[in-house]
Amino acid sequence: MTTGEQVTHVPLGRAGLRVSRLCLGTVNIGGRVDGPAASALFDAALDRGIDFIDTADIYGWRVRQGHTEEVLGTWLARPGVRDRVVLATKVGSRFGTGPNDEGLSARHIVRACEASLRRLRTDHIDLYTMHQPDPATGWEEIWQAMDLLVTQGKVRYVGSSNFAGWQLAAAQEAARSRHTLGLVSEQCLYNPLVRHAELEIIPAAQHYGIGVLVWSPLHGGLLSGVLTKLADGSAVKSAQGRAAIALGEHREVVERFERLCAEHNRAPAEVGMAWTLAQPGVTSLVIGPRTPAHLEGALAAVHEPLDPDLEAAVAELLPPLGHGGPAPAAWIT
């Protein structure tokens, strides 16, 4: 049964496909969230209209590579679920020990897709995303493989992740020469703390009609109220690894950010996500909740946009590179 206010849907770039403005990322599935808990999370997301789900063939590595797709596949196999979901997975990272078990060669793309389909227990992937660029493989070969999968009905749309602006342009021009659709999405790092995507990635995506999917909109938890969580002992992800190192670098600005949120009586996680979602060119945020309760802050970011004063204050507190805006004006004096 559907409960609560539903997440809105928007076109994915210039494609006719509509996706929810929140995308359920699954990097925490497998090793952190498994079995019934994972199903409960998927159910809660779908119940609130978050029907865009993103995974990758390598996710689940805490158990084994591919485990997350297997967990997701079990849930997708339930009656009536698969047709309600826009399913995305990724290819290109190392999966195996052989010399051809990584990258974007035609051989690896096709084999990896077929393996993902088996784990996901479905006959097609809605959005097949290249996890990162492969400088060793040309676009003629990449598009040959992707076009084959689309023709076979195994893939509906193709996306990229972690690409530079010039690589988006190269991909689209190569696809144009083949008279094919090319990329419909780019998944990139973007949030108030890390704004380099504004220089060339987002402008290139807008120019070519590519939807922008944002990963780490809270920068590993640094914009989720990390200082308060550290003080009360509730920090998990933001107290570990890269997030802990980044906190050391950005502690002063994070303190100011949390004070600003408190002054406006808004949770830091809501503010960080709402600000990012409101930026030009952004289609959807890829969020990584571990429980249904963790969805609430993300939902508030969609349903309760920031007032203009708070949005401007966040932008001023965490300024862009150079003069702001797209390149080259951002650095021309």
CB neighbours (10 Å) of residue 42?
25
Q: Is 7 part of a structural domain of the chain?
A: no
Q: Is 95 part of a structural domain of the chain?
A: yes
Cis peptide before 328 (omega within 30 of 0): yes
pLDDT for res 1:
33
The token duo for 77 is: 């196999």
The answer for residues whose C-beta is within 8 angstroms of residue 300's C-beta and 6 or more apart is 267, 270, 274
* Mean pLDDT over each residue of the chain, to the nearest integer: 94
User: Checking DSSP bridges between strand 18-20 and strand 9-11, what pairing results, if any?
Assistant: antiparallel
Mind listing the pLDDT tens digit for each residue in 133-164?
999 999 999 999 999 999 999 999 999 999 99
Q: Is 112 part of a structural domain of the chain?
A: yes
The total domain count for the chain is 1
In angstroms, the Cα distances linking 327 to 3, 210, 332 are: 44, 18, 9
208 classed as catalytic: no
Mind listing the pLDDT tens digit for each residue in 284-305?
999 999 999 989 889 999 999 9
Q: Is 289 part of a structural domain of the chain?
A: no
Residues of the chain with pLDDT > 90: what percent? Answer: 88
> In terms of pTM, does the model score above 0.75?
yes
Range 201-212 average pLDDT:
98
**Alpha-carbon torsion angle 69, 216, 170, 185, nearest 10:** 60
Write down the catalytic residue from 59, 128, 157, 208. Answer: 59
Out of 25-29, 55-59, 293-297, least confident range: 293-297
User: What are the start-end ranges of the E strands in 42-196?
Assistant: 52-54, 86-91, 125-130, 155-161, 183-189
Q: Is 153 part of a structural domain of the chain?
A: yes
Neighbour-count burial of 219, counting CB atoms closer than 10 A to its CB (0-12 exposed, 13-18 middle, 19+ buried): buried
How far is Cα 78 from Cα 1, in angstroms, rounded to an integer?
16
Q: Which domain holds residue 87?
A: 15-189
How far is Cα 326 from Cα 187, in angstroms, rounded to an integer?
18
Q: Is 130 part of a structural domain of the chain?
A: yes
pLDDT for res 2:
42
Q: Is 333 part of a structural domain of the chain?
A: no
- 239 touches 43 (CB < 8 A): no
The answer for residues whose C-beta is within 8 angstroms of residue 12's C-beta and 6 or more apart is 18, 19, 127, 157, 184, 185, 211, 283
Give the CATH number of the domain where residue 37 resides.
Answer: 3.20.20.100
Q: Is 288 part of a structural domain of the chain?
A: no
